[in-house]
Amino acid sequence: MSTTTVETDLVTAVARPARPTPAPIPMSRIVSVELRKSFDTRSGFWLLASVGILAVLTTAAVILFAPDDQITYDTFGAAIGIPMAVILPVIAILSITSEWSQRTGLTSFTLVPHRGRIIRAKLAVALGVGVASMLLAFGIGALGNLLGAAIVGVDPVWDITGGDFAGLILFQILNMLIGFMLGVLFRNSAGAIVGYFVYGFVLGTITQVLASTQDWFERAQPWVDFNYTQGALTDATSMTGENWLQLAVTGFFWLALPLAIGLVAVFRSEVK
């Protein structure tokens, strides 16, 4: 009886067709899921909505309080860039730390075992949201420039060139990458956000004071201070080859290297 049963099982196993290997999840689907996750929660929705809200409030403040001769597109762009430099990196931070703070990482990395694909999708969504937000904010600034010029009775002044506009976009993208890097490195929302404010405001202030009091650091600052070299992008048309080299050197040590360390930790860490 047992021999007959074994033979029957063998025949059944041979006759049964092989189960097809499921196709890998396309990258476009992962990106769309990550994009939807950015809007799903109430906090995520209002964080993204705050980009437009702050752009409108900043534009209104310029119209109300700026002198008539300062109603220019450059003024609106500079004013809008200040809240964007705070909000956009926070969006990038939360896009990566949410997997750990909301304990969804186990589900995400189980459905897509290759963690690098999820990280790349999160980066693509963060940069896409950042660029779209900047275009929206500068569009609101352009409308504010037209409205402000009409109110004060002057011709609109469009004093931001295409190169300057590209430099401002690159400046904000680098800020978002810094936030993303801190999110990967800390994998904790509060810690990464505090780290960004320390880097952007506390460390930036310290290096400015040090450069103003120490000649040796003033000479070395363009090669060691990423905040300083980023600031040159706000006037991108005057960037020289040396400026771009300084940006690349400081970006490697302050952005690329810590990001690589954080990615190694993400790939090797146990997700719970």
Tens of pLDDT, residue by residue over 125-156, are 989 988 998 889 889 999 999 999 998 888 88
- Residue owning tokens 């020289």: 240
Any residues with CB less than 8 A from the CB of 63 and at least 6 apart, and which?
A: 71, 144, 147, 148, 151
pLDDT at residue number 160: 82
| pLDDT per position as a tens digit, 182-194 | 999 998 889 999 9
pLDDT at residue number 226: 93
23: pLDDT strictly greater than 80? no
- pLDDT class for 60, splitting at 50, 70, 90? very high
228: pLDDT strictly greater than 80? yes
In angstroms, the CA 115 to CA 256 distance is 19
1: pLDDT strictly greater than 60? no
In angstroms, the CA 58 to CA 66 distance is 11
Q: What DSSP line would sit under 129-170, residue for residue? A: HHHHHHHHHHHHHHHHHHHHHHHHT--------HHHHHHHHH
| 160 phi and psi angles, rounded to 5 deg | -110, 120
Query: What is the maximum alpha-carbon separation in the chain?
Result: 102
**Region 2-16 average pLDDT:** 52
3: pLDDT strictly greater than 60? no
Handedness of CA 141, 144, 146, 149 (dihedral sign): negative
**Region 192-210 average pLDDT:** 91
In angstroms, the CA 148 to CA 168 distance is 22
In contact, 149 and 155? CB cutoff 8 Å: yes
Question: Which two tokens mark 92?
Answer: 């990038």
Name which of 122, 119, 138 is nearest 265 in CA terms: 119
**Region 96-111 average pLDDT:** 80
Instruction: Give start and end residues of each alpha helix (H) in the chain.
Output: 2-15, 27-40, 42-65, 73-101, 105-111, 115-152, 162-186, 189-197, 204-213, 215-224, 226-231, 241-251, 257-268
